[in-house]
Structure 1
Amino acid sequence: MNRAFDALLQGLAVIAAGLFAAIAVVIAINVALRNLGLPVLYGALDAIQYTIMAATFMAAPWVLAQDAHVKVDLVTAGLPDGGRRLLGRITALIGAVTAAVLGWYGTLALWSSITRGAVIRTSFTLPEWITLVFLPLCMGLCAVVFLRRFWRPVDSQPSQSGL
């Protein structure tokens, strides 16, 4: 189960990385086209906007699982090992609850969008639920990562931030 879950997180992160790379390419192409006085790619700005949101949500569980997110350890660095572990478990539980609540409300928004048949009309027309589907899925995965961290805390050594 752990391997399958980790593979899912890594797969989503790889897809997100590909999406971010595609965004960079599309932006470069649009800049080149604009500088050459040619028409830019129609809908690129809207597509980039939705892709950034989707890719960010897709990468978030993997970043969290890798403990590669930004963290402030000014308080925890001064605590003894036991205090660091306890605070780590408390924050993991708070993170799990927060991610679960965000996932729940994301699910409600997704369901509402599906039942209403809401459509986004910008450069192109697409069902609104396509833009909402990543929130509940990825917040659910983040909640699981936080719960894993609660049950199996990561190394409690303070990080070497240089500060």
Structure 2
Amino acid sequence: MPSFNAAFDAVLKFCAGLAGAIFALIALAICLNVILRNTGSGSLRGLLDAVEYGLLAATFLAAPWVLWKQAHVTVDLVTASLPTAVARPLARLVALLGFVVSTAFLWYATEAALQSAERGSMIRTAFVIPEWWALSAAPVGFVMICIEFLRQALHPRLSHDMAGL
């Protein structure tokens, strides 16, 4: 299990880095587009569509890392004051609930992507791409989110370092 955890941690870090690179490219492209428009040079064709796809991909690439780092908003007013003997099982229960909900999202996201691929649906904007390419970001992200929730259920972390901020 330690080697799986180390490998999965590396995957999460890679995905977070990739998401960060996508966000940085989006920021640079938007700045470039503003400069081009303000200098009368037109604009970058398809930029808005590329930004939409980039935001979609980056969000689902970064979400598992955010969960792993416990860096999202959490309301720990109650759990921070509980004794460890109570807080640990509660953290396990919450992680299992997150796993169940994420598994449901994974199921429907996968179903949507597969149906789109079977139908041969295309997105026709500035780019013409198969719809399932865009839809595949969600199942990939939710697989990693489900794995992370299972890891947290098996080994709950009771870190309250940022409680009260």
TM-score in terms of structure 1 length: 0.93
Q: How many residues align?
A: 162
In structure 1, give the amino acid aligned to 2:33.
Answer: N
Pairwise CA distance, 1:37: 2.0
Partner of 1:2: 5
In structure 2, give the amino acid aligned to 1:126.
Answer: I
Pairwise CA distance, 1:80: 2.0
After superposition, what is the alpha-carbon deviation per residue over 1:112-135, rounded to whole angstroms, capped at 9, x for unaligned? 000000001112211101101111
Q: For 1:61 and 1:95, locate their aligned partners in 2 and report how far apart those are by CA, in whole Å.
A: 12
Partner of 1:136: 139
Note closer, same or farther for the CA distance 1:48–1:111 as it changes in structure 2 (3 Å cut).
Answer: same
Q: For 1:115 and 1:35, locate their aligned partners in 2 and report how far apart those are by CA, in whole Å.
A: 44
Q: For 1:127 and 1:95, locate their aligned partners in 2 and report how far apart those are by CA, in whole Å.
A: 31
Partner of 1:64: 67
- 1:7-156 matches, within 5 Å, as 7-154=10-157, 156=158
RMSD in angstroms over aligned alpha carbons?
1.3
Structure 1 regions of 5+ residues with no counterpart? none
- Higher mean C-alpha displacement, 126-135 vs 1-10: 1-10
* Secondary structure of residue in 2 paired with 1:15: helix
After superposition, what is the alpha-carbon deviation per residue over 1:89-129, rounded to whole angstroms, capped at 9, x for unaligned? 11100111111111111110010000000001112211101
Q: For 1:137 and 1:92, locate their aligned partners in 2 and report how far apart those are by CA, in whole Å.
A: 19
Structure 2 regions of 5+ residues with no counterpart? none
Identity over aligned pairs, percent = 46
Pairwise CA distance, 1:157: 4.4
* Secondary structure of residue in 1 paired with 2:17: helix
